[in-house]
């Protein structure tokens, strides 16, 4: 979409690429210059069916009666573009010079794009043109000066990439003075400087948008990395707390076992001491019992012998 809300089908050609970048009409400066030369209710012939934007511009910003567009293969595209932008002055015609002869003399401006321009088509059209017809050629090639001079068409204006010819009974040999030349040069410089500034501004906007998009992506990645980092830290802290609890429980278990073992040692020691004490106390009795037993055995032996 252009700055004035004009909508065009997005074809892959030079004109579309330029308009997509600048958001303005293709060859806008030339279109502005040519509109100023047109009379009211002018009739135009746009020879390049790829340049729907030219027809739309003239239909919107010039008081034209009709714009003829010869069609080879883009009829639907041209029709859709005109319908979408409410341009009613365009009439699609066959790409056949013989069928143009009935209305060709009424045309005020013919545009020969770089893609269309050729000596043959200029030669074919020249005999059928009226004196008021202006020829707009996308070229600075001076070879066309001689060709068009044969039909009394002479150079009226030439600016970068374009030449404009009008019908003159005699060539205009009046030389421009240096002041006029300087004014034209300055005007051209201002025009193209404005165009360059527009392109530069558009590029700057695109660069700002790209940088902002890149910054948003970086911020998103940073937030994601921070989130992942926080999740990992929380996970490790949880595992650390669990490990600390396990270590505390293990220490308590070791202390419990150690205390139990020490208590058992104390009990065993006391028991052994009591056993030793008891043995020491009962030892004389046991020895006396042993001696008495021995004496009884001896007495029994003596009794057995007496019998």
pLDDT digits (tens, 9 = 90+) for 214-250: 888 888 888 888 888 988 988 888 988 998 888 888 8
**Residue 166 · residue 154 · CB < 8 Å:** yes
CATH code of the domain containing 105: 3.40.50.150
In a domain, 301, yes or no: no
In a domain, 136, yes or no: yes
Question: Of 114, 142, 108, whose CA–CA distance to 40 is shortest?
Answer: 108
Dig out the tokens for 289 from the structure.
Answer: 């019992």
Within 8 A by CB and 6+ apart from 85, the residues are 6, 7, 56, 59, 60
Per-residue pLDDT at 171: 46
pLDDT, averaged across the chain: 86
Q: Using 50, 70 and 90 to split pLDDT, how confident is the model at 72? A: confident
**Total structural domains within the chain:** 1
Q: Which residues of 144-175 are buried (b: 16+ CB within 10 A; e: fewer)?
A: beeebeebbbbbeebbeebbbbbbeeeeeeee
Dig out the tokens for 27 from the structure.
Answer: 């060859």
In a domain, 188, yes or no: no
Per-residue pLDDT at 173: 47
**Residue 160 · residue 192 · CB < 8 Å:** yes
Candidate ranges 20-24, 163-167, 183-187, 257-261; pick with highest mean pLDDT: 163-167
Question: Of 84, 32, 28, 23, whose CA–CA distance to 51 is shortest?
Answer: 28
In a domain, 187, yes or no: no
Q: In what order do the strands lie in the sheet with 42-46?
A: 90-94, 64-71, 42-46, 109-112, 134-137, 162-167, 153-159
Which range of residues forms the domain containing residue 34? 14-173
Q: Using 50, 70 and 90 to split pLDDT, how confident is the model at 69? A: very high
**Residue 64 · residue 42 · CB < 8 Å:** yes
**Residue 188 · residue 159 · CB < 8 Å:** yes
In a domain, 4, yes or no: no
């Amino acid at each position: 979409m252009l700055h004035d809300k004009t909508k065009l089908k997005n074809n892959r050609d030079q004109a579309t690429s330029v308009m997509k970048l600048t958001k303005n009409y293709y060859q806008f400066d030339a279109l502005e210059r040519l509109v100023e030369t047109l009379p009211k209710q002018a009739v135009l012939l746009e020879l390049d069916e790829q340049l729907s934007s030219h027809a739309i511009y003239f239909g919107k910003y010039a008081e034209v009666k009709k714009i003829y567009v010869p069609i080879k293969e883009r009829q639907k595209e041209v029709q859709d573009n005109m319908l979408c932008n409410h341009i009613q002055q365009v009439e699609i015609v066959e790409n056949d010079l013989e069928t143009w002869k009935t209305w060709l003399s009424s045309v005020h401006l013919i545009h020969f794009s770089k893609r269309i321009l050729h000596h043959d088509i200029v030669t074919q059209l020249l005999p059928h043109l009226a004196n008021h017809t202006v020829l707009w050629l996308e070229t600075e090639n001076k070879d066309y000066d001689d060709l068009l001079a044969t039909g009394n068409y002479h150079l009226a204006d030439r600016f970068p990439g374009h030449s404009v010819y009008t019908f003159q009974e005699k060539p205009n040999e009046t030389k421009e003075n240096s002041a006029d030349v300087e004014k034209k040069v300055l005007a051209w410089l201002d025009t193209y400087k404005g165009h360059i500034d527009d392109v530069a501004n558009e590029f700057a906007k695109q660069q700002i948008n790209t940088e902002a998009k890149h910054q948003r992506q970086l911020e998103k990645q940073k937030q994601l990395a921070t989130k992942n980092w926080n999740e990992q830290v929380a996970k490790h802290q949880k595992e650390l707390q669990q490990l600390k609890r396990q270590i505390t429980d293990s220490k308590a278990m070791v202390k419990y076992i150690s205390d139990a073992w020490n208590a058992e040692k104390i009990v065993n020691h006391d028991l052994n001491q009591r056993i030793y004490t008891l043995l020491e106390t009962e030892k004389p009795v046991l020895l006396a019992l042993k001696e008495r037993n021995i004496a009884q055995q001896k007495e029994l032996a003596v009794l057995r012998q007496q019998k």
